[in-house]
Amino acid sequence: MWSFKNLVALGLFLFGTTFLWMTPAFAGKASPPKGTAWTLANILALVTLAGFAIAGWAVFKGYSWWGPTAIVSAVVGLATVIPFIVGQHRLDVGLSDPGVQINLWMHIVGSAVVIAIVLIPAANDWVTKRL
């Protein structure tokens, strides 16, 4: 039941769901902030979540196209960081809150790790041989 393949699939899906933390609903305000940056962050976060869910499903079903899907999702996830920073900077808290900083760096590093696992041949071989 808890095979490596299932853990990778679940990990991709769960990492995708964390991008919801970059949406206005999680900004820590009674009423979510508005504006172009937050709208863009919301759209990109939902696209990223959907992409990682699809990549996780592809790993679970054993499809070979999980890698390109994961890369596209990670790149969109990195793009989500930009409007998140702009929108967060306009709030009272800004980027000084440790929770905001953890959220920001977790998504930057996590997306970079996904890209590295797919693009670095040694890492990709290690993962795909165990799927």
Neighbours of 99 (CB within 10 A): 11
Binned average pLDDT, 10 residues per bin, the chain of 131 residues: 92 97 85 91 97 98 96 98 94 87 96 97 94 86
CA 77 to chain centre: 5
Are the CB atoms for 33 and 87 separated by under 8 Å?
yes
Closest CA to 66 of 74, 88, 89, 18: 74
User: Can you give the pLDDT at residue 81?
Assistant: 96
User: Can you give the pLDDT at residue 15?
Assistant: 98
Cα–Cα–Cα angle for 99, 119, 105, nearest 5°?
10
H or E segment at 119?
helix 98-119
User: Can you give the pLDDT at residue 30?
Assistant: 72
